[in-house]
Structure 1
Amino acid sequence: MNISSAIVNARPGGVAIVQAGLATLPGVEVHGISPEGKLIVTIETEDDASNVATYERIGQLDGVLSAAMVFHQTESEPENEVSVEADLQVTPQLQGDLK
């Protein structure tokens, strides 16, 4: 899963149109709007290709001047994670070093 945030800049007077367009995109959520026409959004997608496609679609929306990624994180699926367990013992020498 990809999670990212972006600042989307709308044309003057075009914030409502941009906000409506963003609402049609899956995984996109608007969290704030400034009086200057900047929208703070988060984007959740399944993979990198979907993330890129979503940014391209945002850039093509009516009223959008630009979209700039601010943050990006890729999270692995829990069922694909590997857990490693170790039984560690502190040796007498290491105990002395820790004091």
Structure 2
Amino acid sequence: MSEPTQRYHVSSAVIATMPAHTEAVLAEIAKMENVEIHGHGGGKIVVVIEGTSTGMLGDCLTRMSLLDGVIAANMVFEHVETEESESDDRNTDAA
């Protein structure tokens, strides 16, 4: 019997902010689960978002876009990894 597969989604995004609000936006993004800030400068913030579905990533990006001081939040790249579960009842005896 085939085991279920688990899918992991990883996305990068660039958040453009009004420069006077960048620090406040950084602080709010830092509180978000499954989000990692990779750098910022010139009013732009680069983040990586992880989740179990494209919808989960989209919801997170939407929350970022609604933060006070954010001009735009754009997904740059998305990658999906599929991990198959292995059964513990495999026969490993040599014949």
Give the TM-score band, short-chain normalised. Answer: 0.7 to 0.9
Give the one of 30, 34, 44 matched to 2:50: 44
1:52-90 superposed Cα distances (whole Å, 9 cap, x missing partner): 11111111112111011111101112318xxxxxxxxxx
Summarize the alignment of residues 57-68 of structure 1 with structure 2, pairs less than 5 Å apart: 57-68=63-74
Normalising by the residue count of structure 2, what TM-score does the alignment of the two structures yield? Answer: 0.77
Using CA pairs under 8 Å that are at least 6 residues apart, name the structure with larger relative contact order, 1 or 2: 2
Cα RMSD (Å): 1.3
Q: Percent identity?
A: 34
**Larger C-alpha radius of gyration, 1 or 2?**
1
Off by >4 Å, runs of 4+ in structure 1: none
Higher strand share: 2
Normalising by the residue count of structure 1, what TM-score does the alignment of the two structures yield? Answer: 0.74
* Count of matched residue pairs: 79
CA distance in 2, matches of 1:77, 1:60: 33
The runs of 5 or more residues in structure 2 that have no matched partner are: 1-7, 87-95
